[in-house]
A and B are shown apart, each in its own frame.
Chain A
Amino acid sequence: MGASPVDGVVRVALVEDQDVVVEGVRAWIAADPAKRAVVIADGKTIEKALAGPGRDADVVVLDLELGGETGGGLVTGRVAGLCDAGYRVVVFSVHVEPLIVRTVLQAGACAFLDKRTERAQFVDTIAAVARDLPFVTPSMAGGLLHAVRLSQREREALQYLFQGMDHASIARRLKKTSGDPISAATVKQYIERSRAKFAAAGHPCRSQFALLARCMELGLIRPEEIDDYRPGDF
């Protein structure tokens, strides 16, 4: 399990009960031209996926709906335990309702991927999460929108991301007071700063601390700001 940012190939453990999805994920990761990740274990339950080599995974990709394990329910309640155990968790699910997204992120998950629409971002997300970078997918943006105190620009950027715009399109819409569009890099900064604020307010676990530390390195959030976003402050 990853204590410090991963520099080499990211080791992925996959918790998924549908064989077709397991095959699909393996194929996407194998097809990555940069070979940034490798699946070292998979299982239909959390215990099976992490029993053998999976326990050394840098990132755990978790399907929320594990029919056999939960009898049809969602395993949102298991996310905090995995994060407390030191894993970086990426949730990969069709249950993309903002409330569910917010719940798993609050429990310490590093990222949320919508099974329906965010396949293209799969390997990018895994690679970013393994390096403790504040990565935000469109489905995550919906969960973050009403969860922390955001500036007007941060809120607008998240809202456009949630609606399905890429950074360049968001930049075109967010104009400066002079009327000129802002840069895509600035949009990225707004979105990553929202993620940092959310991490500061969420469940304290190793991956969230690592994410916050990286955000400080990147200048997205100052140490003295962190207490401002603790639960109950907004």
Chain B
Amino acid sequence: MASSSAADVEEHYTRGGLWIAIIVMAGWHVAATAPVVIEAWLAYGLLRSGALIWLAFAAAGTVSAVTLLRGIGPRVALPWAICIVLLAGELADTLVAPGGFFGNHDFGFTSAGLFGLVVLWRRPFAEYLAFLVADALIALAVLILLGEATRAHLAGLIVVCAGGGALPIAIYVGVRAVAATARRAAEAEDAAARSRNARLAAEAVQAARRARYETIRATVVRLLDGLATGSLDLAADQTRQEIAVAVTRLRRFLVESDDVPDPLSHELRACADAAERRGVAVDLIAAAGTIPMLPVGTRRALTEPVIAVLAATASRARITVVASAAEVAVAIVADARLAAPIALAGDSVQCDVDEEGGQLWAQARWTV
């Protein structure tokens, strides 16, 4: 799938091509066709001059250009309705023009090709080709109906088709090719940027993990050293608690992933790390549900009870987060005894505390 920036680049080039098509169309209509129409008007009168058809083409071209440049209007109905007007105009012009299809005053065929380019600019190339074929078939039908389909005239028609179709087709195909090349270049640039960002992020995560590992390693090495030399008393509660904490931290290090950083989880992990450094074994469970973006004040209020309970925890704690778009509940269950009630940092969060059999449960709950 093209990234939005690559699609923007392609659109930029396609729109530039549309301006080229509009300028060619308007330039042709004013500089090349208008003098012919005026000359015919003066010589043969209004009806045979094709001036009304010229005006109809001008109106159709203007409507198409404005709607396309503003990006509004029906996607299929309007372009093809205008195409029918153009083809009807071509037919009428060929019939009324002094000198017929090959006379000096028939502008309809070539004009229809250039106007159709603008009208069908946002449509597939096949549709534009179909329009050009219809344009040519109308000219052929007129030659046959008027009995002018001589070998020389058919050869002339082929030359006119080739000459009249070459410029708009070249514009259509050329602009699309340039736009596609620009899009591919932008996509390659996007991919390179994403890869660069992913690498930098991975390096940052790796550095943070390395730092955490160094902290854990120091504790583990000391404990292993103590076990090896026999200086640690395995029967002592404190030793067993230290080992339990070291094991918990090592396990969390092995399973944690920081690929999708979430500020609340980060803050809770920081709280858990701090508690572990003073000997509490903490189980920090990954959030059930997706944590919405929360303001700093709300996050602080949600982590406040956790910090307070961890500070009073003797040995073990379990921290959980249950989240949805409308609610986040951070809870801790620990063997803790609070010396003072928990002070809340804000009024957007409700705090509940309950104690039973030496286990303290505290929950901070934010709701929309």
Residue positions of A touching B, CB distance < 8 A? 94-99, 116-117, 139, 142-143, 145-146, 159, 162-165, 169, 172-173
Contacts and interface: CB of A to CB of B under 8 A. Distances in A.
Interface stretch (B28-36, B78-86, B92-100, B316-324): B316-324
A197 to B, nearest CB: 16
Interface string B15-33: 0000000000000000000
Residue with the greatest number of chain B CB neighbours at <10 A, chosen from A95, A96, A162, A172: A162
Given A117-B318, A145-B288, A162-B288, A94 B333 contact: no
Contact of B322 (A116, A159, A173): A159
A143 B333 contact: no
20 contacts: A94-B254, A96-B285, A96-B286, A97-B286, A98-B286, A98-B287, A116-B248, A117-B283, A142-B285, A142-B286, A142-B288, A162-B285, A163-B361, A163-B363, A164-B318, A164-B320, A164-B333, A169-B354, A169-B356, A169-B361
Given A142-B320, A146-B289, A173-B354, A159 B283 contact: no
Interface in B348-368: 354, 356, 359, 361, 363
Contacts of B288: 98, 142-143, 145-146, 162
Contacts of A173: 354
B190 to A, nearest CB: 29
Interface of B: 248, 251, 254-255, 283, 285-289, 318, 320, 322, 324, 329, 331, 333, 354, 356, 359, 361, 363
A165 B361 CA distance: 8
Contacts, number: 57
Contacts of A116: 248, 251, 283
A116 B316 CA distance: 12
Contacts of A165: 333, 361
A145 B288 CA distance: 7
Given A94-B251, A172-B356, 6 more contacts: A139-B285, A159-B322, A159-B329, A163-B320, A163-B361, A164-B320
A173 B362 CA distance: 12
Nearest to A163: B331
Residue with the greatest number of chain A CB neighbours at <10 A, chosen from B286, B287, B288, B318: B288
A169 B355 CA distance: 10
Nearest to B289: A146
Contacts of A145: 288-289, 322
A181 B71 CA distance: 64
A88 to B, nearest CB: 25
A163 B359 CA distance: 12
A159 B363 CA distance: 11
Contacts of B324: 146
A155 to B, nearest CB: 9
Nearest to B320: A163
A136 B61 CA distance: 71
Contacts of B356: 169, 172
Contacts of B285: 96, 139, 142, 162
Contacts of B248: 116
Contact of B289 (A94, A98, A117): A98
A99 B322 CA distance: 12
A68 to B, nearest CB: 17
B115 to A, nearest CB: 51
A172 B254 CA distance: 37
A2 B143 CA distance: 87
Contacts of B322: 142, 145, 159, 162-163
A146 B37 CA distance: 74
A104 to B, nearest CB: 14
A98 to B, nearest CB: 4
Contacts of A97: 286
